[in-house]
Structure 1
Amino acid sequence: MITLKGAEVSAKIKEQVDELYKGITGSKPKLAIVRVGERPDDLSYERGALKKMEAFGLLAESFSFPCDISDEDFKREFSKINKNPEIQGILLLRPLPSQILEKDIEQMIDPKKDLDGISPYNIAKIFAGEESGFAPCTAEAVVEVLKTNDIDLTGKKVIIVGRSMVVGRPLSMLLLKENATVTICHTRTENLKDTCKNGDIIIAAVGRAKMLDGSYIGKDAIVIDVGINVDDNGKLCGDVDFDSLEGIASMATPVPGGVGAVTTAVLAKHLVMAALSQAEH
């Protein structure tokens, strides 16, 4: 089984970012990472994003708030970040605590700074097949992993396990654009194991530690693990039991070191694209 490591894909995206960066005049683009609470997966993503921005020569600042912050207080703070002219891009770590109306924040965020495709404006563009909006970084990262490794998606049966607006649904649109045949499953799908076994490519994005193992995977299928979970031993793991894939899957991404590394590279690319777009207006 070939391990599809994110570092090689990230390096190729850095070349693209360096080329785009040549068009930047003035100060370095700056990312705001907005986090509420201390969820382990949020903290992991934040650390990775901060490291990646530094590696790519970009600026980033974290804005963290207590998990019990009121809806009103958070909206006030978020509005300041959203309107700050020194910030070209925003990454909002979700889900937000239940007392914050997430839909309101999605409506509030400036689409030009919405690097992770959460605003209705950007989502509409993704579902319309337009390239001028920002797709969610993780969804775009999955496509980058496949394409960089010369995996032709045309006509391939792709099974996505997970239907969130963060990964599953927008990813299905990006894959359809690449002429894949896409099936979206979820935790309530009947005969999930049989459905997965029929896929050429399995993408796990359900948010449950090691939910899928080798028994879900058909011979020589490609497995892309989007999950970031913490197992019983406090270690980061994916939605797939990676060790159980040996001798079954032809290729698979590890966790950590797989899609996550590419997601932050896509985030950096979006930041430079946002800075260029804002400089034009």
Structure 2
Amino acid sequence: MLVSPYTVAARYRAEIRQEIRSLGTPLKVVGFLGGEYAPSLTYANYTKNACEELGIDYELRQLHRLDLEQAIVAANEDPSIHGIMVYYPIFGNEQDRYLKDMVDPRKDIEGLNAFWIRKLYQNERLVDGARAAGKAVVPCTSLAVLKILEANGAYGASGTRPAEHKTVTIFNRSEVVGRPLAVMMSNDGARIYSFDEQGPLLYLNGKATETKITRAEALQQSDMVITGVPSPSFPKIKADELSEHTICLNFATIKNFTAEAEAKAELFIPRVGPITVAMCMRNTLRLYRTYFAKEHKNTVA
């Protein structure tokens, strides 16, 4: 029986709420929205509700996209703000990458700044600086995927190689979710086939190599299939493409599996959104303890 994303998120929220109460200091998160993209509005509402439940002050700032850069700079310099979120896409091109790097890494609760991405790709799991020490943060949706798999017994909960001997196919290689997820799972021991419009790559131990494997071959080999293709033109994965006992997860807003494939899967996970938001709140607390707290107590696990 599926342990739902809501159940997993509730567990983390309870832990985070207790930690926040112990701080004795109010935390503040600011979200920046640069358009009317419906999924971004939904995500912003999820974030607002989660913050209110946990006792975090949340403010949504809706601006023209051309004003976002200066607004992020101002938030970086504002000592009352401990976490910054930007709801992407803003421009839908390389300018979004530029905005991600504008966010101060100390306030980047989504873990998308190049500082954190570089640590992830180098498999550096700790912050090690002259003025700070703590655990590194990673992109929230990628982490949410691992947490829901772990909660459902599909991913190891301990050890340095919790995905050893697993073969996984991921359809999505964005810098926001798919590529970080491939690196994280391969660092944990999995063999990852990563697909996007540029073709397949094979990830082993955090490193990518070229491969000529086909979609059909990768799916037949896979213990897990994870998809996040936000396009209705993506050819949905069919039941006859999957091996028996495959675990399937869809984190896109659009269904990437047919109903028959969902039914055939040993476990089908339709979304991770609630956990993604919980991971953002977890990162908020982690960054506060690393960079802003005067006294470091126990960091959230």
Q: TM-score, normalised by structure 1?
A: 0.85
Any stretches of 5+ residues in structure 2 without a counterpart?
Answer: 126-134, 156-162, 200-212, 295-301
Are residue 181 (structure 1) and residue 191 (structure 2) matched? yes
The alpha-carbon deviation at position 157 of structure 1 amounts to: 0.4
Are residue 226 (structure 1) and residue 251 (structure 2) matched? yes
RMSD: 2.2
The alpha-carbon deviation at position 253 of structure 1 amounts to: 1.1
Cα distance per residue 1:256-278 (max 9 Å; x no partner): xx301110111111111122223
| 2:105–2:115 Cα contact (<8 Å) kept | yes
Cα distance per residue 1:227-246 (max 9 Å; x no partner): 024xxxxxxxx3334x3234
Cα distance per residue 1:48-90 (max 9 Å; x no partner): 1111222222221111123xx43xx332222112222111111
Distance 1:39 1:260 in 2: 16
| 1:4–1:253 Cα contact (<8 Å) kept | no
- Would the alpha carbon gap of residues 176 and 22 (structure 1) be closer, same or farther in structure 2, given more than 3 Å must change? farther
Match of 1:232 in 2: none
Match of 2:290 in 1: 277
Distance 1:188 1:124 in 2: 22
The alpha-carbon deviation at position 178 of structure 1 amounts to: 2.2
Match of 1:203 in 2: 226
- Report the count of equivalent residues: 263
The alpha-carbon deviation at position 169 of structure 1 amounts to: 0.8
Match of 1:140 in 2: 143
Match of 2:278 in 1: 265
The alpha-carbon deviation at position 147 of structure 1 amounts to: 1.1
- Would the alpha carbon gap of residues 248 and 36 (structure 1) be closer, same or farther in structure 2, given more than 3 Å must change? same
| 2:248–2:262 Cα contact (<8 Å) kept | no
Distance 2:121 2:94 in 1: 26
Spell out the pairing of 1:149-188 with structure 2 (5 A cutoff). 149-152=152-155, 153-188=163-198
The alpha-carbon deviation at position 46 of structure 1 amounts to: 1.1
Spell out the pairing of 1:16-31 with structure 2 (5 A cutoff). 16-26=15-25, 28-31=26-29
Distance 1:239 1:29 in 2: 37
Letter in 1 for 2:267: M
Match of 1:40 in 2: 38
- Would the alpha carbon gap of residues 103 and 151 (structure 1) be closer, same or farther in structure 2, given more than 3 Å must change? closer
Match of 1:240 in 2: 257
The alpha-carbon deviation at position 207 of structure 1 amounts to: 1.6
| 1:88–1:278 Cα contact (<8 Å) kept | no
Distance 1:36 1:51 in 2: 20
Any stretches of 5+ residues in structure 1 without a counterpart?
Answer: 230-237
- Would the alpha carbon gap of residues 206 and 76 (structure 1) be closer, same or farther in structure 2, given more than 3 Å must change? same
| 1:52–1:265 Cα contact (<8 Å) kept | yes
The farther-off stretch of 107-116 and 136-145 is 107-116
Distance 2:44 2:8 in 1: 20
Match of 2:158 in 1: none
Distance 1:122 1:61 in 2: 24
Say which SS state the counterpart of residue 112 (structure 1) adopts: helix
Letter in 1 for 2:180: P
Match of 2:97 in 1: 103
The farther-off stretch of 267-276 and 159-168 is 267-276
Which portions of structure 1, spanning 4 or more consecutive aligned residues, are displaced by more than 6 angstroms?
Answer: none
Match of 1:234 in 2: none
- Would the alpha carbon gap of residues 246 and 158 (structure 1) be closer, same or farther in structure 2, given more than 3 Å must change? closer
The alpha-carbon deviation at position 99 of structure 1 amounts to: 8.3
Distance 2:7 2:92 in 1: 38
Percent sequence identity is 21
- Would the alpha carbon gap of residues 168 and 98 (structure 1) be closer, same or farther in structure 2, given more than 3 Å must change? closer
| 1:24–1:275 Cα contact (<8 Å) kept | no
